[in-house]
Amino acid sequence: MSERLIIFDTTLRDGEQSPGISLDVAEKLEIAEQLARLGVDYIEAGFPVASQGDFEAVEAIAKTVRGPVIAGLSRTNLADVDRCWDAVRHADRSRIHVFVSTSPNHMEHMLKMTPAQVLAETRSGVARAREHTDDVEFSPQDATRTPLDFMMEVLQAAVDAGATTLNIPDTVGYGIPWDFGALIQYVRRNIGGDYITSTHCHNDLGLATANSLAGVQAGARQVEVCVNGLGERAGNAALEEVVMAVRIRADQFPGIEVGVRTEELARTSRLVSRLTGYPVQFNKAVVGRNAFVHESGIHQHGVLANSSTYEIIDASSVGQQGSQIVLGKHSGRHAFSDTLEKMGLHVQGDALNAAFARFKELADRKVQLTEADLEAIVAEEIGGVGAEPAFTLESLEVTGGTVGVPRARVVLIRDGEKTEASADGDGMIDAACQAIKAATGIDARLTDFNVSSVTGGVDALGDVIVQLDADGVKVSGRGVSTDVVEASARAFLNATNKVVRVRARTEARARIDEVTP
C-alpha cells in the first residue's frame, strides 16, 4: 500500500514574500493555473488579511482554479480566520492554515504574549477555523527554536481543537537534517489524534531540501515547498528538488508516492521566474539551464555513449527540453497558435495577434525559436493573463559608444495615440529607460537589473528582468530581444505598464470607497 506525500505549494504565499516580489491578481492566477497543471495537492494562495490585493487574489484563485485544494493563511484572531474563509470558501475544497508564534523570542519581541495567551489563541483560532471547514492546518511559528514541552502542549491543544494537519515550521532555517527529523518523529510519537504531520523548511543554512526529506523519512506526509525555492530571505525548500529526490531515490522513501506531473517542472519554473522577476541560477538543481549540460570532454563522451553515465534524471521527465526548436520565420499564425496551445498557453484575440506580430519580428532576426523563446515572447507581450498593456513600443533609436553622450528616442502608442520622447543617459540602456520615463510620465526608479539569454547559442534572445519602484509601488518587468538595449527598454516598459495598472486599480478602489456609505 502506498502513501501519498502531499505537496503543499506555498509559492504564492511564502514565495511571494521574497523581497521585491509583488504579483498582481492576473499573475497569481496564471501561476496557480500552472500549479494545477503541475498537479500539486495544495496551493497556498495567499494571506487574505494582509491586503485587499491578497484577498482578491486568493478569492479569484478559489473561484477559478480546479484540482488542488486552495488554502489561505490566517493568524489566530477570529476576524482574520473569518476573512480567510471568505476568500477560500469558493473552492471545491478549501483549507484554513492558522499560525501563531511559539518561541520565547517571538512571543516576547513580536506578539508580546505569555505562553498561556498563545495556548488560548491556538485553541480559539483553530476552533473557529474548524467551524468553517474540516480541513484545518496549524503551525507553531519558529517551532525549531521553541522549547519542546511548550510546543507539544500547543500542538496537542491544536489537535484537540480540530486541527487536521500539524505543520512544523523551521521558520529561520535553523534545523539540521537529523535534528529536524528527530523533531518530526517526536511529534508523531507523542501527539495523539488523527492528523498529518508537515514540514515547512527555510533555507538559511542551505538545508531546506535536506531537512524536508529528513522530515518525510521520519513520518511527515506533507511538505511545504516553493517553486525555484522562493521565499523569505534565503527561501523555502524547492518544490522541484524535494519531488525529484523522492522520485529518483524511491529506495529511500519506500511506499511513498508523489502526484506531481514532473514533465511540467521546467515550464513552471520558467513561468514563476518570469512573473516574479527572480532569475533561476544556471546550476540550480533540476530546473537550472545547466542541469543537463556537460562541459568537459570526458563527461560529453560519456553522455553521448549513454546519458546515464553522468545523468541521474532523464531531462525530458522534468520538461527540460526548452532548447528544442519549434518554429521558424516561415511558420504561420495557425502553427504559432497551435504550438502555444500544446504548450498550455491559451492566448486568443488581440493578445494572440500582438504575440504573433512580435514572433514574426523576432523570427525574422533569429530564424528559429524554441519553446522557451515563445514563452518569453508571450509573457512579455501580454504581461499576464488578460492584462492589456497601457503603452506599446512602436520604435526605439539609440546612439552611444565611447564618444559623445548616449541618447535615445522612443515612440510609444497608448489608445491609438503616439507619444514620443528623447533623453540622454549614462549609457544606451539608461538613455532608453529615461526616454520611456519622459514619454510615459511615470517616474520609476530602477532598483534591479538582470540580463541573461533565454537559451544557449550565439543567436540567443537577450532576456532582461528589471525591478522598479514608483513611489512605493514595486513591480518587475521582462523584455526579450536579439538586441540587449531593446530587451532592456521592453522590460522597463513592461514594468511601467504594471505601475499604470496598479495605479488604475488603486484609483478605482478609492472611487468605490468614496461612494460606499
Minimal distance in Å, beta carbon 9 to ligand KIV?
A: 13
Residue showing cell 488523527: 194
Which residue number, 94 or 167, has a Cβ lying nearer to Zn ion?
Answer: 167
Q: In the complex with Zn ion, which residue's Cβ is closer, 14 or 59?
A: 14
Determine, following the binding rule CB under 6 A, whether residue 14 of this chain makes contact with ligand KIV: yes
200 vs 289, which CB is nearer to ligand KIV? 200
99 makes contact with ligand KIV (CB under 6 A): yes
- Check residue 44 for interaction with Zn ion (CB under 5 A): no
Q: 141 touches which of Zn ion, ligand KIV, none (CB within 5 to 8 A by kind)?
A: ligand KIV
Among 11, 141, 228, 481, indicate the residue that binds ligand KIV (CB under 6 A).
141
Asked whether 367 and 482 are in contact (CB, 8 A), the reply is no
Residues 451-510 that bind ligand KIV (CB under 6 A): none
Q: Which residues contact 276 (CB under 8 A, 6 or more apart)?
A: 15, 16, 18, 21, 23, 230, 476
Looking at residues 49 to 88 of the shown chain, list those that interact with ligand KIV (rule: CB under 6 A). 73
Closest distance between ligand KIV and the C-beta of residue 82, in Å? 18
Can you tell me whether residue 413 is helix, strand or coil? strand
- Contact status: 169 vs ligand KIV (CB under 6 A): yes
Kindly state the smallest distance separating residue 306's Cβ from ligand KIV, in Å. 43
**Candidates 163-171, 280-288, 354-362, 468-476; binding stretch for ligand KIV (CB under 6 A):** 163-171
Q: Which residue has the cell 570532454?
A: 297
Residue 99 binding result from ligand KIV, Zn ion, none, given CB thresholds of 5 to 8 Å by partner type: ligand KIV
| Residue 180 C-beta: closest distance to ligand KIV, Å | 13
Minimal distance in Å, beta carbon 142 to ligand KIV?
6
Query: 14 or 121, CB closer to ligand KIV?
Result: 14
Q: Where are the beta strands (DSSP E) in 339-461?
A: 368-370, 392-399, 407-414, 417-424, 445-453
| Piece of 13-21, 327-335, 380-388, 474-482 that binds Zn ion (CB under 5 A) | 13-21
**Counting contacts by CB under 6 A, is residue 139 touching ligand KIV?**
yes
Q: Which is nearer to ligand KIV, 99 or 336 (CB)?
A: 99
Among candidate residues 164, 251, 181, the one with its CA nearest the CA of residue 215: 181
Q: Which stretch binds ligand KIV (CB under 6 A): 165-173, 259-267, 359-367, 446-454?
A: 165-173
The cell for 214 is 529528513
Stretch that binds ligand KIV, among 34-42, 166-174, 332-340, 402-410 (CB under 6 A): 166-174
What lies within 8 Å, CB to CB, of 238 at 6+ separation is 208, 209, 225, 226, 227, 228, 229, 284, 285, 286
DSSP H helices, 101-163, are 104-106, 115-132, 148-161
CB of 9 within 8 A of CB of 42? yes
Q: What is the DSSP letter of 202?
A: B
Choose from ligand KIV, Zn ion, none: what does 126 bind? Cβ within 5-8 Å by kind.
Answer: none
Residue 206: helix, strand or coil by DSSP? coil
Shorter beta-carbon distance to ligand KIV: residue 107 or 326: 107
Site string for ligand KIV, 171-210 (x = CB under 6 A): x----------------------------x-x--------
52 Cβ contact partners less than 8 Å away, ≥ 6 residues apart: 509
Name the binder of 490 from Zn ion, ligand KIV, none, CB < 5-8 A by kind.
none
Residues 326-345 within binding reach of ligand KIV (CB under 6 A): none
Q: What phi, psi does 118 have (nearest 5°)?
A: -65, -40
DSSP β-bridge partners for residue 411: 395, 420
412-437 b/e (C-beta count within 10 Å ≥ 16 → b): bbeeeeeeebebebeebbbbbbbbbb
* Residue (of 401, 350, 393, 402) closest to 486 by Cα position: 393
- Kindly state the cell numbers that stand for 253: 522513501
Determine which residue in the list 14, 33, 142, 380 makes contact with Zn ion, applying CB under 5 A. 14
Determine the angle formed by the axes of helices 265-276 and 25-38, rounding to 10 degrees. 170
Binding at 323: pick from ligand KIV, Zn ion, none (beta carbon under 5-8 Å per type): none
Report the residue number, 180 or 336, with the smaller CB distance to ligand KIV.
Answer: 180
# of chain residues touching ligand KIV (CB under 6 A): 10
Partners of 136 in beta bridges: 96
Binds 30: which of ligand KIV, Zn ion, none (CB < 5-8 Å by kind): none
Is the distance from CB of 227 to CB of 272 less than 8 angstroms? yes
Among ligand KIV, Zn ion, none, partner that 215 touches (CB below 5 to 8 angstroms by kind): none
- Beta-carbon contacts of 230 under 8 Å, excluding residues fewer than 6 positions away, are 11, 14, 15, 16, 18, 21, 236, 272, 276, 278
CB of 220 to Zn ion, least distance (A): 15
- DSSP per-residue codes, 430-476: HHHHHHHHHHH----EEEEEEEEESSSSTTPPEEEEEEEEETTEEEE
Residues forming the site for ligand KIV (CB under 6 A): 14, 73, 99, 139, 141, 167, 169, 171, 200, 202
Residues forming the site for Zn ion (CB under 5 A): 14
